[in-house]
Amino acid sequence: MTIRAARPDDAPHILALLHELAAFEGGAVTAGAADLRSALENGQMEALLAEQAGEIVGLLTVLPSYSSWRGQAGAIIHDLYVRPAARGLGLGRKLVQALLAQAPERGWGRVDVNVLDWNGPAQQFYARLGLAPATGWQIWRIEGEALEKPQKVQ
């Protein structure tokens, strides 16, 4: 089993894993492999992959962040997924730990993670790795048609 950085040519494999994750979470992936390839090439996204017997079985996607208050870069774990057949081997833990090990050398002041409020097992998983919910904050979002045609302030 190995953990490695994703390359742009891994985009089709990443897309397949994202579709599996979206099915579990009840969402839909609208990105294509070309979108993911471009994001990997231009630094909009990074990813770590877990391989077992030459097959990609796990994924952790990372988005860059920056804290203007801290004056430091950081990272956001956006997706973490391990195929069901490869679960129980510690791959999710190894993916997260591999990312966290990079934080000091990359000068990251923090690493955030998006966890669904109904996903108790994921919350417990991240807590065991030392992450904790940010108190007092909620994620607010505008997307899709609402972003394309935002309401005018009156």
pLDDT at 152: 74
pLDDT at 143: 87
User: 106 vs 138, which has greater pLDDT?
Assistant: 106
- Average pLDDT value for the chain: 95
pLDDT at 151: 77
**Which H or E element spans position 48?**
strand 46-52
- Strand order of the β-sheet with 72-82 is 2-5, 46-52, 55-67, 72-82, 111-113
Q: What is the arithmetic mean of pLDDT over 88-111?
A: 96
User: 139 vs 6, which has greater pLDDT?
Assistant: 6
Which domains does the chain carry?
2-148 (3.40.630.30)
Give the helix ranges, DSSP H, for the chain: 11-25, 33-42, 91-106, 120-128, 144-148
Strand 2-5 relative to strand 46-52, pairing: antiparallel
What does the pLDDT look like over 35-79, one tens digit per residue?
999 999 999 999 999 999 999 999 999 999 999 999 999 999 999
